[in-house]
């Protein structure tokens, strides 16, 4: 008799895993059977109840059963297989555009089918296009009693196969258990690891659906907790590894900093001064700095970073200054040139649109070490960009950059021997417990004050029904020459639907305001097209810009003094705050109008009230955590650096203090468990980045 497989056995021993599937599984980090248990569903579908055909309505996703009445192939615009299904209460048409002979023969009159799919209105009544279906013997086969898991799609492996594989893994888990690395550290009344895993893969139909969909079922919380601990452990480990690396020691020997300071038209704030001294102390060490500089929009992070660049130049080393878009690159390049060239420091820009001989010339300046500062977009990461002695990398608005790119950066350090210091700047306020978990590998500096004299953005909350008044107000506003952003945020998961909403709004506004110059940018437009329009807006050619939330982070258009945000009740407060930061950058006062669709809940009202009352990003972020609600859907997005599988930073924020406490204990007393958790949770990461 062959030995029964264990969770540690290779997946190849499972039924249905040939070399081809094994290879694909390996690609997403699944080698042992137990790894399958940590491939979590991204959502669930309810296929536990068979819906009578007479009760269907369009837009539903349902499980139905019936007998085939008639199947025929019709030729209209394209060859189509139509099959009529009835169950005594009503009927529905199944429509297939792609089908084969075998399928056609299966769907004979009298065959019993169970189908799952979307119901829509067709030319002859309700229909389902390409439903999932299977033949059943006589309708007595009971539907499954658990919700159907949908796994992250993996190239070449279908949902059905993934279910089959996880079925087998769950079966093995009846006799052998995965190690519970948190044993003894969780409250008594929490579910066990085995029960939790089982639940996540096959939630029973009687489970509290609402809890499940919100992700707050105790089993989900148990697993989310483990994930957060694993993430924190991984960050701490990477920090421990980093301090073993070597870096240039940078000091401002030429007194560049004092020279620039003397020329600035303003006095640095205390918070800026403090940040500068922390950063300079860091880069003076021979250990690579890895620091996060947080500061609200407009708090003056750029000049702080420039001081570190001066220390590098003063030590004869190069710096990179990375921005997420060409437009921002241009903005930084102009500022840096203005500040640094008088000191004899050469600044060059490198973006995707600088090509040909010009590019080669710049690359040579960089490779030979003449260019001290290179400002650029992702283009800085390209293989062709070789630095002579890169010692410092500034990354502006970190959430646009991936982990792989940061690794590449390390490689670009001095021949791979000396790692560059890194300063990562962000305007996204990150509450402390969160920073201690997900940014445990970074030191944090916070600029917690704005330069004096800034006028807070006056924020009003307005029901959509007053749109006509608003349009009138915009017309008046634009006659003064000031500009307007009208933002159509991401309220659907799909950028397609979202862009459509923006297009419609754009057309309506053009009709309502024919005398204004209006343009539109959204996420599905080509990069160059977006940049062109942003540039026109910056240069004052446009009065009004309609945009989805692709609207550029960090772009300075001081003349834009009014922002309208659609569907604000459905957005996270921190995100609203980010958007609002696009106005209020000049000397005249600015306004922000938060439109909402009535009726809204008390909670939503309170949340929008926060926006009206405060302009402090940290208070906004804190309130966002406290007053959960619509903001939840942006939780994972805001975390930026790390893609979480089960946990959600906003929803599970209350777990964080305990996560910190227990991970400390594990590191100190149970290093083996800590190791195992890190490995277990960092296998499938890349897959989730795309779902
Ligand atoms: P952010 O932190 O959003 O990147 P910036 O660095 O772009 O902010 O600075 C925003 C604006 O504030 C710039 O025009 C900059 O010149 C100005 N600024 C920076 N520091 C000060 C200061 N201490 N006093 C007055 N203005 C300042
Ligand atoms: Mg900035």
Query: Alpha helices, DSSP H only, in 69-140?
Result: 101-106
Whole-number Å distance between alpha carbons of 422 and 439:
14
| Residues 531, 395 share a domain | no
**Ligand closest to the CA atom of residue 293:** 1
| Residues 554, 541 share a domain | yes
β-pairing verdict for 347-350 and 373-376: parallel
**Ligand closest to the CA atom of residue 321:** 2
Query: What is the per-residue pLDDT for 666?
Result: 96
Tell me whether residue 631 is in a domain.
no
Whole-number Å distance between alpha carbons of 487 and 567:
9
| Residues 286, 166 share a domain | no
| Residues 319, 275 share a domain | yes
User: What range defines the domain where residue 56 resides?
Assistant: 49-143
Q: What number does the ligand 1 atom closest to the CA of 268 have?
A: 23
Q: Name the pTM for this structure.
A: 0.70
Place of tokens 């800590």: 674
Whole-number Å distance between alpha carbons of 335 and 329:
10
Query: What is the per-residue pLDDT for 400?
Result: 47
| Residues 393, 523 share a domain | no
Angle of the 301-314 helix axis to the 256-263 helix axis, nearest 10: 150
Q: 633-638: long-range contacts (C-beta < 8 A, 24 or more apart)?
A: 633/570, 633/572, 634/571, 634/572, 634/574, 634/575, 635/572, 638/399, 638/428, 638/572, 638/574, 638/575
Tell me whether residue 540 is in a domain.
yes
Query: What is the per-residue pLDDT for 499?
Result: 65
State how many domains the chain has.
5
Output the residue whose Cα is nearest ligand 1's atom 9: 300
Whole-number Å distance, alpha carbon 272 to ligand 1 midpoint, is 10
| Residues 179, 34 share a domain | yes
Tell me whether residue 646 is in a domain.
no
Pocket of ligand 1 (CB under 6 A): 266, 268-269, 272, 295, 297-303, 427, 451, 554
Tell me whether residue 32 is in a domain.
yes
Q: What are phi and psi of 429, to 5 degrees?
A: -70, 135
Q: Round the average pLDDT of the chain to a whole number and report it.
A: 86
Output the residue whose Cα is nearest ligand 1's atom 23: 268
| Residues 463, 419 share a domain | no
At which of 95, 120, 143 does a domain end? 143
| Residues 160, 38 share a domain | yes
Whole-number Å distance, alpha carbon 307 to ligand 1 midpoint, is 14
Residue 394: exposure state from Cβ atoms within 10 A (0-12, 13-18, ≥19): buried
Tell me whether residue 636 is in a domain.
no
Query: What is the per-residue pLDDT for 620?
Result: 83
**Bridge-partner residues for 519, per DSSP?**
545
**Domain of 325: which CATH number?**
3.40.50.300
**Ligand closest to the CA atom of residue 552:** 2
**Residue 450 · residue 457 · CB < 8 Å:** no
DSSP state letter for 392: E
Whole-number Å distance between alpha carbons of 649 and 238:
21
**Residue 45 · residue 148 · CB < 8 Å:** yes
Helix H or strand E encompassing 308: helix 301-314
**Residue 220 · residue 226 · CB < 8 Å:** no
Could you tell me which of 164, 172, 151 has the C-alpha nearest to residue 17? 164
| Residues 312, 232 share a domain | no
Q: CA 464 → CA 471, 487, 569, 595, 603, distances in Å?
A: 11, 14, 11, 6, 18
pLDDT in tens, 278-333: 999 999 999 999 899 998 878 899 999 999 999 999 999 999 999 877 778 888 99
Q: What number does the ligand 1 atom closest to the CA of 453 have?
A: 25
Burial 403-414 (b: 16+ CB within 10 A, else e): eeebeebeebbb
Burial 203-218 (b: 16+ CB within 10 A, else e): beeebeeeebeebebe
| Residues 520, 396 share a domain | no
Whole-number Å distance, alpha carbon 325 to ligand 1 midpoint, is 19
**Domain of 77: which CATH number?**
2.40.50.140
Q: What are phi and psi of 528, to 5 degrees?
A: -65, -40
Q: Which residues of the chain have pLDDT under 70?
A: 1-3, 138-140, 155, 398-407, 409, 414-416, 429, 490-499, 550-554, 625-626, 628-643, 684-691
| Residues 55, 35 share a domain | no
What secondary structure does DSSP assign to 158-207, as a single string? -HHHHHHHHHHHHHHTTTS----TTTTSS-TTSPPHHHHHHHHHS-BTTS
Query: What is the per-residue pLDDT for 636?
Result: 37
At which of 447, 476, 510 does a domain end? 447
Beta-carbon contacts of 223 under 8 Å, excluding residues fewer than 6 positions away, are 40, 196, 197, 200, 646
Q: What are phi and psi of 645, to 5 degrees?
A: -95, -50
Whole-number Å distance, alpha carbon 654 to ligand 2 midpoint, is 31
Tell me whether residue 5 is in a domain.
no
Query: What is the per-residue pLDDT for 491?
Result: 56
| Residues 65, 201 share a domain | no
Q: Residue 3: helix, strand or coil by DSSP? A: coil
Tell me whether residue 113 is in a domain.
yes
Tell me whether residue 637 is in a domain.
no
Query: What is the per-residue pLDDT for 414?
Result: 61
């Amino acid at each position: 008799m062959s030995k029964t497989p264990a969770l540690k056995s290779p997946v190849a021993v499972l039924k249905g895993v040939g070399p081809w599937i094994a290879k694909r599984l390996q690609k997403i980090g699944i080698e042992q059977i137990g790894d399958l248990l940590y491939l979590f569903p991204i959502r669930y579908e309810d296929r536990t109840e068979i819906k009578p055909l007479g009760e269907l309505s369009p837009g539903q996703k349902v499980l139905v059963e019936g007998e085939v009445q008639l199947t025929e192939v019709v030729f209209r615009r394209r060859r189509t297989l139509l099959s009529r299904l009835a169950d005594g209460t009503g009927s529905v048409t199944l429509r297939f555009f792609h089908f084969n002979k075998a399928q056609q023969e299966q769907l004979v009159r009298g065959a019993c089918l169970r189908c799952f799919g979307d119901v829509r209105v067709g030319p002859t009544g309700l229909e389902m296009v390409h439903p999932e279906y299977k033949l059943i013997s006589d309708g007595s086969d009971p539907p499954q009693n658990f919700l159907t898991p949908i796994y992250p799609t993996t190239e070449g492996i279908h949902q059905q196969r993934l279910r089959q594989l996880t079925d087998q893994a769950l079966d093995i888990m009846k006799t052998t258990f995965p190690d519970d690395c948190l044993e003894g550290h969780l409250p008594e009344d929490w579910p066990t690891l085995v029960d939790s895993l089982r639940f996540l893969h096959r939630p029973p139909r009687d489970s509290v659906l609402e809890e499940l969909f919100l992700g707050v079922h105790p089993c989900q919380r148990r697993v989310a907790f483990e994930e957060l601990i694993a993430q924190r452990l991984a960050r701490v480990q990477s920090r421990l590894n980093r301090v073993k690396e070597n870096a240039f020691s940078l000091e401002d020997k030429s007194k560049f900093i004092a020279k620039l300071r003397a020329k600035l038209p303003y006095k640095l704030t205390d918070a800026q001064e403090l940040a500068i001294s922390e950063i300079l102390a860091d880069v003076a060490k021979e250990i690579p700095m890895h620091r996060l500089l947080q500061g609200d929009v407009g708090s003056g992070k750029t000049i702080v970073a420039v001081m570190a660049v001066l220390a590098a130049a003063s030590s004869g080393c190069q710096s990179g200054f990375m921005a997420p878009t060409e437009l921002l690159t241009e903005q930084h390049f102009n500022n840096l040139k203005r500040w640094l060239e008088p000191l004899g420091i050469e600044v060059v820009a490198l973006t995707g649109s600088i090509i040909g001989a010009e590019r080669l010339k710049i690359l040579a300046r960089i490779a030979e070490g003449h260019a001290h500062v290179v400002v650029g977009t992702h283009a800085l990461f390209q293989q062709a960009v070789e630095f002579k002695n890169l010692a410092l990398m500034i990354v502006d608005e970190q959430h646009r950059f991936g982990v792989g790119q940061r690794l590449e950066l390390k490689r670009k350090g001095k021949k791979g021997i000396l790692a560059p210091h890194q300063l990562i700047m962000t305007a996204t306020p990150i509450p402390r417990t969160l920073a201690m978990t997900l940014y445990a590998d970074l030191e944090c500096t916070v600029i917690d004050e704005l330069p004096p004299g800034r006028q807070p953005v006056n924020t009003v909350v307005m029901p959509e029904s007053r749109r006509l008044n608003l349009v009138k107000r915009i017309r008046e506003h634009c006659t003064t020459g000031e500009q307007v952003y009208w933002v159509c945020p991401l309220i659907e998961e799909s950028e397609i639907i979202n862009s459509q909403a923006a297009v419609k709004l754009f057309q309506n506004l053009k009709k309502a305001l024919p005398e204004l110059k209006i343009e539109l940018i959204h996420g599905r437009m080509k990069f160059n097209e977006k940049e062109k329009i942003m540039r026109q807006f910056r240069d004052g050619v446009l009065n009004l810009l309609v945009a989805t939330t692709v609207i550029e982070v960090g772009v300075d258009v001081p003349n834009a003094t009014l922002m309208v945000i659609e569907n604000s009740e459905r957005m996270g407060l921190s995100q609203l705050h980010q958007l609002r930061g696009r106005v209020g950058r000049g000397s005249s006062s600015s306004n922000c109008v938060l439109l909402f669709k009535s009726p809204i809940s008390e909670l939503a009202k309170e949340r929008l009230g926060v926006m009206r009352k405060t302009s402090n990003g940290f208070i906004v972020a804190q309130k966002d955590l406290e007053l959960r609600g619509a903001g939840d859907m942006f939780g994972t997005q805001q975390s930026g650096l790390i893609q979480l599988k089960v946990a959600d930073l906003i929803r599970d924020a209350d777990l964080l203090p305990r996560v910190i406490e227990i991970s400390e204990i594990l590191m100190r007393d149970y290093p083996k468990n800590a190791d195992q958790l890190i490995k277990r949770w960092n296998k499938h990461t890349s897959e989730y980045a795309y779902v």
